[in-house]
Every structure is written in structure tokens, then in C-alpha cells.
Structure 1
Amino acid sequence: MSIADSILSVNNDLPIRTDLPVHSGKVRSVYWLTAQDSRRLIEEKSYPVPSDTPLAIMVISDRISAFDCIWHGEGGMLGVPGKGAALNAISNHWFKLFKQQGLADSHILDIPHPFVWIVQKAKPVLIEAICRQYITGSMWRAYEKGERDFCGIQLEEGLSQDSKLTNLLMTPSTKGILKGIPNVPEADDVNITRQNILDNYLAFNFENQSDVSLYENLLTEGFALISQNLAELGQVFVDTKFEFGYVKDLDGNNKLIYMDEVGTPDSSRIWDAQQYAQGRVVENSKEGFRQLLLSHFPDPDILLNKNRMPERQKLATDNALPPEVLMQVAKTYVDIAEKITGQTLTMSKNPKAEIIQILKKNYQLID
């Protein structure tokens, strides 16, 4: 079996029983279970949620996105081997640690397979919650051009690229296009201020205003916990994106939880600490792949300029990357996953067949 066969690139065509269309994102696909199957699994598996809670199967893929495009390799490599399993293993590790440390729960109820989560329905908070401990990436590019105001926070003069910031910065942006919010442009991924959120907390899906402080606490405490653990592994936690939502607890009360993924190479920048101490940045996250793309193509502005999206999509569609590039990305993901979890990553030879077998035999979700 070839490497291409072991890559799960298409994950929205599994024969899972559902009455609703499959929702497919850049990396994950979500299958909403029928009310009957949800109720049955809650009872059979003793999930700690109300019996009428909608459940979903969330299947990760090995696709790799960067600059809002999906990239592929030569020889039918439609993703990065091991990437999906690595992302899930890392998220599982941090979610478990957050719960143990009393921070907050996640949306995950069960992990049937390294590529699969069973989750409860959450009402997402419409914020990309971004934390930054170092000035790099888009923030550095903007700072270099003279910007000093980031999400209502004033940065001091004289900062240098990749340097550590005095304080951990929370620089939230919108999740999706939000309409009718004063002082917030109607576009995806727009930077917003803390005051924007406080003044319009209901529009961002917060239940009450005090939960804005709770989300900030969960953000900073979650960041600190991951940062401390990574430091012990010789890694620098540079910046990350968290997502939050509300779910029902066993008594039917709403509680704020972590959702999506946390502390992964897709949602974070992670640097090698020893190299950084010597003045070099060595990426152990997707940022390394982004930098590679920027140097690979003659006109990097296509990748950085949102106004050139059609050209960028064409670039991603028309250009198959060399297999060694994707194998290097695979090594980055697998190595950091094994470092964080302390376990060897289980690699599937045919993940789709395995998932179908497990969901059919152990969960009766496939006819």
C-alpha cells in the first residue's frame, strides 16, 4: 500500500447515518447524528449530558491548509501522512490536562479512533481567541509598517522581530461574518477590541457579560499551562488560537468550554527553545510550511494579499508540491505530537476503512 493510500484526504463521504448535510471545514468534517442515535449512544455509553443532547461524529483529515487554501503534492499525495492523527492526539492531551487542572471541559465525549471524536452540540462563541507571547507573523508585518494599535492594545516602540512581548496579548478577531455590530466591519477574521466584545457580548454569543472575563481567564490559563509544559520539553509556545462555546451539563445548565482544537501545530506557533536562545527560529508547527510556500513561489504577495484570493486559489490548485516537502511537514507534526504526548503515534494504513469498521461494530452508526 502506498503512502498516498494511508492519507485521509476526503472525509465527508463516510456512510454514517445522518439526516443532515455533512459540514466540511478545511480539515474536519462533522456528521450530525439522528436524534434516535444520539439518545441511544448517550444511554449506552453513559455520556454525562442530558438525554436529548444532539451528538456529532467529527472526522479529521490529513489535508493541509495554509493561506486559506488546501495544498497537495505530486504522485496523488492529497495531504500529509500522520497529520490528522497528530492533531487529534495533541488536542486530546491538552483537553484532558485542562480538565484535570480544573479549567474547563471540552466538547469531546468519546474517541472511537485516532481520527474521530464524538462531540456534543455546542453554541460557539463567535470569536477567534488569539493569544500572543512573541511578536512575529502578521503582527510583526503590521508593526514593521508602523501599526502600534492591535485590538485596542498599544504596543511600545523599538520592538524587534520574534522578540518576547512584555505581556501576553489577547488579540481577538471575528469568527465568520458578523452583521450589525457597531464599529465591527462585516468581514471574516477582523480584529476586534475587548470593548467591542463587552459592548456587544450577546452578538458574539456570550450568555452574559461576566463570561467575557471567564473566556479571558480560560484563554490565559490555558496558554500558561501549555506554555509551561512545552518549556519542559524544550519548546517555546509563541502564539495560539483558542475557540470557545457553550454546552449543556448533565443538569441542563449552560457551561463555557474549550472546543475545536487546542495547542496544535495548526493553531499555534511552536519554536525550538535551544535554537531560539541562539538567535534562530526553528518552527515545529505549520508556520514552517507557510514560510516554505512564501519562499517557494516567486510572488509571495499572492499568498499574503487578501485581494488576490483568486490567484492564490489557482496557485494551490495548479501546483503539486514535491513529496519530500509534505514528508518534512509530516515529520514536524508526528515529532511534536510524540514529544507532547510522550507516546508513539499510531499510524493507520487505511484510516477510512478502520473508521467505518469501528463505527459500524462498536457504535452501530453505519447500516
Structure 2
Amino acid sequence: MTIAQQVLAVNDDLPIRTDAPIHSGKVRSVYWLTATDSARLIRDRGYEVPADTPLAIMVISDRLSAFDCIWKGEGGLAGVPGKGAALNAISHHWFELFKEHGLAGSHILEVPHPLVWIVRKAKPVKIEAIARNYITGSMWRAYSQGERNFCGIELPEGLEKDQRLPDLLITPSTKGILKGIPGVPEADDVNISRADIVANYADFNFLSVDDISCYERFLSDGFKLIEEALADAGQIFVDTKFEFGYVTNSDGEQELIYMDEVGTPDSSRMWDASAHAKGKIIENSKEGFRQRLLEYFPDADILLNKERMDEREKLASDNELPAEFLLDVSKTYLSTVEQIIGRKLVLSANPRAEIIHILAEEFDLID
């Protein structure tokens, strides 16, 4: 079997029993289970959730998303070998660490396969919760062009590229296109201030104003836990994105939890600590791939300018990147997950067949 065949690029056509449309995002696909199957799994697997909680099978792919587009490589390489398994393993590791330290729970109930989560239904908070320890990436590009106010926070003059910030900076942005909120542009992924969220907390799906402070505490506490653990693994935690949502807990109450993924090379920047001590930046995250794309294409503005999305999408669909671009991402992700969880990942030879077999034999979810 070739490397390309080991990649799970298509994850929205599995024969998982469902009576709802399959939701397929850039990387994950979600199969909502029937009410009967959800209730059966809750009972038989002993999940500590209300008996009528809707459950879903979440299948992560190996697709590579950057600048809001999916990228492919030469030789039929439609994704990054081991990427999905690495992201799932890292996220699950951090979620378990959060629980050990008394932080919030997550939407994950079980991990039946390296590319699969069984999750409970959550109502997402409509913000991307971003925390930054260093000024780099898009923030540096804006700062270098004279911008000083970020999400209502004024940064001092004289900062340098890749410099550590005086304090952990929380810079939220919108998740999805939100309409009718005063002062908030109707576009995806636009910066918002804490004042915006407080004034319109219900529009962002917060149940109370107090929960804004709660999400900020979960974000900063989670960041610090990951930062300390990564430091032990020789990594610097630069910045990250968390997502939050509400679930109904076993007492029937609404509870704020972590959801999606946390602390992964996809959602975070990580730098090699030993290289950084010598004044060199070595990216151990998807940021290295982003930089490579910016250098590879003659007109980098297509990748950076949101008003040129049509051109960007055509660029991604019409170009097969050198295979080494994607294979280098694979090396970075597999090395990073090994450092974080303390063991090597055993990659699936045929992930699609394995997933179907497990969900059929152990969960009776395949038609």
C-alpha cells in the first residue's frame, strides 16, 4: 500500500447509521446518531450523561487546511500521513490533563479509533478563543504596519517580531458570520473585544455575563498547563485557539466545556526551545507549512488578503504541491505527538476499513 493510500482524505462517506445530514468541515466530519443508538450507547457504554443526550461519531481526516483552503500534493497525496491521528491523540491528552487539574470537561466520551471520537451534543460558543504569548504571525504583520489596538487591548510601542508579550493576551474573534451585532462586522474570523462580548453575550451563545470570565479562566489556565508540559518536552507554546460550548451534565444543568481540539500543531504555534535560545525560530506546527506556502507562490497577497478568496481557492484546487511539503508536515506532527504523549503513534494501514470494522463489531453502528 502506498503512502497516499494510507491517508484518510475523504471522511464523509462512511456507512455510519444516521438519520441526519452529515456535517463535513475542513478536517472533521460529524455523523449524528439516531436517538435509539444514542440511548443504547449511553446505557451500554456507561457514559455519564443524561439518557436522552444526542451523540455523534466525529471522524477526523488527514486533509491539510491552511489559509482556509485544502491543499494537496503530487502523486495523489490528498492529505498528511498520520495528521488526523496526531491531532486526536494530542487533544485527548490535553483534555485528560485538564480534568486531572480540575478544569472543565470536554465533549469527548470515548476514542474507539485513532481517527474517531464519540462525542456528546454541545451548543458552541460563537467565538474563537485565542491566547497569545508572543507577537508573531498575523498580529506581527498588523503591528508592523502600525496597528496597536488588538481586540480592545492597546499594545505598547517598540515591540519586536517574535518577542514575548508582557502578559498572556486574549484576542477573541468571531466563529462564523454573525449578523445584527452592533460594531461587529458580518464576516467570519474578525477580531472582537471583550466589551463586544459583554454587551452582546447572548448573541455569542453565552448563557450569562459571568460565563465570559469563566471561559477566559479556562483559556488562560489551560494555556498555562499546556505551556508547562510543552516546556518539559523542549517546546515553547507561542499561541493557540480554543473553542467552548455548553452541554447538559448528568445533573441536568448547563455546563461550559472545552470542545473541538486543543493544543495541537493545527490550532497552535509551537517553537523548538533549544533553537529559540540561540535566536532561531523552528516551527513545530502548521505555521511552518503556512510560511512555506507564502514563499512558494509568487503573489503571497492571495493567501493573506481575504478579499481575494476566489483566487486563493483556485490556487489551492489547481496546484499539486511538492510531496515533500506534506511529508515534512507529517514528520513535524508525528515528532510533536511523540514528545507530548511519550510514545510513537502506530498508523493505520487502511484507516477507512479499520473504522468501519470497529464501529460495526464493537458499536453496531454500521448499516
Q: In the alignment, what sits opposite 1:84? A: 84
Q: In the alignment, what sits opposite 1:332? A: 332
Give 2:238's aligned amino acid. V
Q: In the alignment, what sits opposite 2:167? A: 167
Q: 1:50-199 counterparts in 2 under 5 A?
A: 50-199=50-199
Q: What whole-Å deviation, never above 9, does each CA across 1:1-51 have from its counterpart, x for those lacking one?
A: 111110000000000000111000000000000000000000000100000
Cα distance in 2, alignment partners of residues 185 and 305 from structure 1: 16
Count of residue pairs brought into register by the alignment: 367
How far off is 1:242 after superposition?
0.2
Cα distance in 2, alignment partners of residues 190 and 326 from structure 1: 29
3-state SS, counterpart of residue 29 of structure 1: strand
Are 1:177 and 1:186, in contact at CA under 8 Å, matched by a contact in 2? Answer: yes
Cα distance in 2, alignment partners of residues 308 and 210 from structure 1: 39
Q: What whole-Å deviation, never above 9, does each CA across 1:224-257 have from its counterpart, x for those lacking one?
A: 0000110111100000000000001111111000
Are 1:85 and 1:346, in contact at CA under 8 Å, matched by a contact in 2? Answer: no
Q: 1:259-274 counterparts in 2 under 5 A?
A: 259-274=259-274
Q: 1:37-52 counterparts in 2 under 5 A?
A: 37-52=37-52
Cα distance in 2, alignment partners of residues 209 and 243 from structure 1: 17
Q: In the alignment, what sits opposite 1:360? A: 360
3-state SS, counterpart of residue 320 of structure 2: coil
Q: In the alignment, what sits opposite 2:209? A: 209
How far off is 1:324 after superposition?
1.5
Q: 1:288-303 counterparts in 2 under 5 A?
A: 288-303=288-303
How far off is 1:129 after superposition?
0.2
How far off is 1:325 after superposition?
1.5
Q: In the alignment, what sits opposite 1:244? A: 244
Give 1:157's aligned amino acid. E
Q: In the alignment, what sits opposite 1:3? A: 3
* Segments of 4+ moved more than 6 angstroms: none
Please tell me the root mean square deviation across aligned C-alpha atoms, in Å: 0.5
Cα distance in 1, alignment partners of residues 303 and 195 from structure 2: 31
Q: What whole-Å deviation, never above 9, does each CA across 1:243-282 have from its counterpart, x for those lacking one?
A: 0000011111110000000000000000001111111110
Question: Is 1:200 aligned to residue 203 of structure 2?
Answer: no
Cα distance in 1, alignment partners of residues 352 and 268 from structure 2: 27
Q: In the alignment, what sits opposite 2:284? A: 284
How far off is 1:152 after superposition?
0.2
3-state SS, counterpart of residue 72 of structure 1: strand
Cα distance in 2, alignment partners of residues 149 and 44 from structure 1: 52
Cα distance in 1, alignment partners of residues 245 and 152 from structure 2: 24
3-state SS, counterpart of residue 240 of structure 1: strand
Of 140-149 and 178-187, more deviation after overlay is shown by: 178-187
How far off is 1:81 after superposition?
0.2
3-state SS, counterpart of residue 52 of structure 1: coil
Cα distance in 1, alignment partners of residues 324 and 198 from structure 2: 48
3-state SS, counterpart of residue 177 of structure 2: coil
Give 2:262's aligned amino acid. V
Cα distance in 2, alignment partners of residues 200 and 318 from structure 1: 41
Paired-residue identity, %: 69
How far off is 1:323 after superposition?
1.3
Cα distance in 1, alignment partners of residues 165 and 360 from structure 2: 50
Are 1:60 and 1:116, in contact at CA under 8 Å, matched by a contact in 2? Answer: yes
Cα distance in 2, alignment partners of residues 23 and 236 from structure 1: 34
How far off is 1:343 after superposition?
1.1
Q: In the alignment, what sits opposite 2:322? A: 322
How far off is 1:177 after superposition?
0.7
Q: TM-score, normalised by structure 2?
A: 0.99
Cα distance in 2, alignment partners of residues 231 and 360 from structure 1: 41
Of 316-325 and 219-228, more deviation after overlay is shown by: 316-325
Q: What whole-Å deviation, never above 9, does each CA across 1:281-332 have from its counterpart, x for those lacking one?
A: 1000000000000011111111111111111111111110111221111000
Give 2:109's aligned amino acid. L
Give 1:120's aligned amino acid. R
Q: What whole-Å deviation, never above 9, does each CA across 1:336-360 have from its counterpart, x for those lacking one?
A: 0010000111200100000000000
